[in-house]
Structure formats: C-alpha cells, structure tokens
Structure 1
Amino acid sequence: MVTGPDSLYVTLLILLHSLTSESVKFEVLGPTEPIVAVAGDDIILPCYLKPNISVEDMTVDWLNLDFMDEHVYRYQNGRIIQEDQIHSYRGRTSLFIEELWRGNTSLKLTRVQGNDEGRYKCFIKSNNWYDDVSVQVLVKAVGSRPVVSIEGHREGGMGLVCQSEGWHPEPDLVWLDSKGVSLSAEPPETHRDLKGFYTVKQHVIVQETDTNLFTCRVLQKQINEDFETKVHIPSELFDYTTPWRLSFIVSCCLGVITVIASALTVYCIHKKKGKHYINV
C-alpha cells in the first residue's frame, strides 16, 4: 500500500485525469493503415485519446459500419453494455480496462472470422465533447488444398469436379491441361458459410489426351496464395460405352436376334410343310 507523499501524488494524478476528462477537448487517434488479420488469430484494433486522459467516465463505442443499429462493444458509465451487441461478436471482444485511465480504448478481437472484415469506428464521448476514428480490418484465410473427384462419363468425355473450402477473400478456381492451358468448364459454384469463409467448386468434362493429366488450381491473388491438385485418368476409363452407343449395340443385337428367330421360324414352317407333303 502506497503512503506518504507518493500516495498524495497518485491521488492528485487520478483527480487530475478525472477533471480533465470532463473538461478538456480530446482527439481520438488510430492506425492509418489497415489491420490485416489471419483467420483464427486474435487482433487488436488500436484506438487512444490525445491527450491521454481517462475515459472511465465516458462512453466508448466500437461500431462495425456494416451494422449501424448494433454495436461491436460498448463501455458506458463504468460498465460494459451488452444490449444491442452484434451476436457474432459476443464473447470475442474486450477493452483493456486497466488502461482506460490513460485513454487507451483499443479493442481486442479474438478468433477472427471472415465476417469480421470491414470498417470499424471507435467513438468516444464525454459530457461536452466527442470524436471518433475509423479502422479498416482485412481478413486473410488460406483454404484447403483442392479435392478432385471423378464423376464418370459425361457427354462423350470424363466428368471431374474440384472443390476447395475455408478461403477469405473469395478465391478463383481454374482447370488446366497438361500444358497449363485453361480448360472450358462450367461456371464455378461459390458458397459462403456463417463465419464468412468461402467454398468454391467447379465441374469440367475432359477428353482423352496423350497424357490424361489434368490440374485443378485454386488461387487468391489478394493474399498471394494458391494450391493445386493433379489427377491422372487411366486410358482404360475412357474406353467406355456411351449411352447412345449402348443403345445402338443393343438395337443391333436385338435386330440380329430377331432376324435369326425369323429365319428359324420360316425354316421350321417349311420343314413341317415338307413332312406333310411326304405323308400325303
């Protein structure tokens, strides 16, 4: 426990901060560059007052500008206000309470998700003054290596499908032949989950080549990440009977069987007639 002159100094310092926080105009400062966050990590969104006066008796609001009617975090009259907090931020946001006396209102955001990307506002209000600053957050999430599956015979070729998940921002997906030339494929299918991460899938029909080697590549240029998966299709899989060819073969077989059956019928009829003439 601090006593004597030191105790008096601390008391005066606290009183000074308390008085100045109610009477002095202040400026809210933050980073000038975007905060780049890796999905799953914890980040800090810097925000502080100049001069470094106490905000313990002020209102501190952190807002996501995409959600104007709700807040990310609110501190008011010495307590945390949880009403009207955006549901996805519950349990993941906090201030450095022990730093409020010197104007540090930085926000800690844990377990970053894809949906956390956006522009935030740090808003500070006293009885007679207010100011704010904006903070841009970018989220980077590297997804999974592409998974390629063979779907079987499709329209005179072999059907393939490629899928990769867990990306942010949304990635691109391309199919390539053995020479690195893009293949004509169906439009990609993109899905975004509740946490804001992207899954991309694309189907393609390939024809037999001299190598039968094909590549699915997923890439995200903004974060300079890409993965690829190669697949080799044995030539035997291309030696298939297509539906139209199967119908043709079946028709031919049925035709041959019909001709043979007709010939046998005619033969039997003639044979019976021959026996009848002999008996007569």
Structure 2
Amino acid sequence: LHPQCTWTGLVLKGVTVETETMRDPTVTCVFRQNCILPCNVDPSSDTIIHWDHLTSGEHNVHSYYDTEDQLGRQDQQFKGRTSLFQDLISRGNGSLRLTGVKIQDEGRYSCYSSTERGSRKTFIQLKVEALIKVSIKLVENRIICSSEWIYPQPELSWSVNPPSELEINSPTMVHQTEEQLYSISSSLLVSDRLYDQTYSCTVSSSRNKKTASFCKSKLLVCYLKLLINVFTILSLLVFIGYFKTPNITHKPSESPNTSRPAVKAILS
C-alpha cells in the first residue's frame, strides 16, 4: 500500500464497498472557465456514478446509471453545467466536466461508483481562482492602482525604485461583489519634485500575483533609456553586418593611360 493511502472494505448485502482514505487531491479551476474533476471507475458496461458536492451538506451534482444521465436529483446550482464522458465510462473514466465555474463551486466533491464487482468512493478538492489584472495610471499628482474580479481575497502593496526617503503609506480599499469576487484599489500621492522614479503596485492573492509599474520622469527619461537600449542594439547589428559583407573590387573599364588624355582635353 502507498504510505499515504489506506483502504477499508465493508461487506454490505454481498457487495464490497471500498473507501480510499488519503489527503484529497486538489484541482484549481479558473472562474467562468471549464474544468474537469478526475475520477477513475472500474471498467464496466453497467457502471453507476454519483457526483456530490459536500460543502454545506451533500448536494447532488451529477448521476449516471442505466447507461444514461439521471439528473432528477441534481442541485439547482449545477443545472445545465455538468456532463460525463459517456463514451469513456466503460473504459474506467468517470470524470466530471463542469462548465462556467463559479465561486460557489469551490469545496469538496465525492465520486461514488458501483459495478457488479463492488463499489468505491473517492474525494477531490476544487479551488477557484480569478486571474489578476492590474491597472495603474497617473491622475493629477496621484498614481492610482486598481484590480477587479479577483478571488480569493487579495492584498495590495507599493514599492519605489530607486528607494525614496518618503514613507509609502496609502490606504487600500477592498470591495466584494455579489458573486463573491473582490475589487481592490489604492492611490499614492507623488511629489512634483521627485522624478526618474518607478512606482510599482503589486496585487496578490494566495494563488496568484501581478505587478504593474509607472515611471515618473520630468524629461521622459524612462522612455529615453529604452530608446538608448534599442539604438545600441541596432548599432551593434549594423556594425556586425558591415564586417560580414564581402569586399567587391570593381575593374576599371579603361586603363589609366587611356583615361588621362580625355581628362586633359576637357580641362583644356
């Protein structure tokens, strides 16, 4: 047996029920996208499968028996969003396909399967994340950083390069929507006397992190530095190309002796 996995067997009306006890595997799904929860079943032509969501009780997600979907008990939360790979069930694949993932879908799931050889139940944890996109802009003398539609709850932090003696102490506002997503924003007051500094805003959650930067320069030094780097690279390429070009020697159409009289005639 696997050191982190044990099996317990129960005999119930002549049927052996096996339950795998181990740390639940975790699947991370992206908000509003599709996701697959894996489940292996015994290959059979008469497999019974019950998927349940075990958070806040036990709610039926999807059932399959008599070689077809049985959705009479399906919880309203999952209506029209679940399916099995029916052509693969007889080969041992009982995985659940969940579309349009919601924050409420997060939690523990069980996959119960039964055949003439016995039954088994496995568990899986589903975690939901909403990808972070950071917006940063300058409004008058404030740099505003914001991000929307985030999950789980994020944090926001500022940094300055080169470091400034001024203390960065800006309040952060967090708002949660009806879909349990988070919006976060913060603004930083910048001095008119400080230039050539890069202000970076980092928004992070327990599963994701993004950083956006704004360069404050009196003479557009930030962009000038970029142009200098590009010019240096182009100059180097031209220099290399010049020395790689083969030397071509052109033969004169006339000998020096025959060309000199013509020149003298014109000058005279």
Query: Structure 1 residues 164, 114: closer, same or farther in 2, change over 3 A?
Result: same
Displacement of 1:106 after TM fit?
A: 1.1
Alpha-carbon separation, structure 2, partners of 1:28 and 1:105: 16
For 1:97, give the aligned amino acid. Q
Alpha-carbon separation, structure 2, partners of 1:130 and 1:42: 28
Q: 2:202 aligns with which of 208, 214, 218?
A: 218
For 2:96, give the aligned amino acid. L
Matching residue of 1:173: 156
- Unpaired segments ≥5 residues, structure 2: 1-12, 219-268
Matching residue of 2:213: 229
1:70 equivalent to 2:55? Answer no
CA shift digits 1:24-80 (9 cap, x unpaired): 53546799642233445433211123x434454x3x322222242532223355442
Q: 2:26 aligns with which of 34, 39, 43?
A: 34
Matching residue of 2:10: none
1:43 equivalent to 2:35? Answer yes
Q: 2:173 aligns with which of 175, 183, 188?
A: 188
Q: Which moved more, 1:25-34 or 1:137-146?
A: 25-34
For 1:191, give the aligned amino acid. Q
Structure having the higher helix fraction is 1
Q: CA contact under 8 A between 1:141 and 1:169: conserved in structure 2?
A: yes
Matching residue of 1:110: 99
Matching residue of 2:134: 145
CA shift digits 1:5-42 (9 cap, x unpaired): xxxxxxxxxxxxxxxxx965354679964223344543
Query: Structure 1 residues 175, 67: closer, same or farther in 2, change over 3 A?
Result: same
Matching residue of 2:228: none
Q: 2:87 aligns with which of 98, 105, 122?
A: 98
Q: Percent identity at matched positions?
A: 22
Displacement of 1:95 after TM fit?
A: 1.0
Alpha-carbon separation, structure 1, partners of 2:163 and 2:105: 36
Alpha-carbon separation, structure 2, partners of 1:113 and 1:120: 15
Alpha-carbon separation, structure 1, partners of 2:84 and 2:61: 11
1:134 equivalent to 2:123? Answer yes
For 1:81, give the aligned amino acid. L
Query: Structure 1 residues 63, 99: closer, same or farther in 2, change over 3 A?
Result: same
Matching residue of 1:5: none
Q: CA contact under 8 A between 2:52 and 2:62: conserved in structure 1?
A: yes
For 1:186, give the aligned amino acid. P
CA shift digits 1:82-140 (9 cap, x unpaired): 444242x3322101222333443210122334443332211235799654211122334
Query: Structure 1 residues 204, 210: closer, same or farther in 2, change over 3 A?
Result: closer
Query: Structure 1 residues 82, 205: closer, same or farther in 2, change over 3 A?
Result: farther
Alpha-carbon separation, structure 1, partners of 2:30 and 2:82: 16
Alpha-carbon separation, structure 2, partners of 1:180 and 1:90: 54
Displacement of 1:185 after TM fit?
A: 1.1
Alpha-carbon separation, structure 2, partners of 1:215 and 1:79: 55
- TM-score of the superposition, structure 2-length normalised? 0.58
Matching residue of 2:183: 199
Q: CA contact under 8 A between 2:83 and 2:96: conserved in structure 1?
A: yes
Alpha-carbon separation, structure 2, partners of 1:31 and 1:93: 25
CA shift digits 1:242-276 (9 cap, x unpaired): xxxxxxxxxxxxxxxxxxxxxxxxxxxxxxxxxxx
Structure with bigger gyration radius: 1
Structure having the higher strand fraction is 2
Please provide the CA RMSD for this pair. Answer: 3.8
For 1:218, give the aligned amino acid. T
Query: Structure 1 residues 114, 229: closer, same or farther in 2, change over 3 A?
Result: farther
Q: CA contact under 8 A between 1:171 and 1:218: conserved in structure 2?
A: no
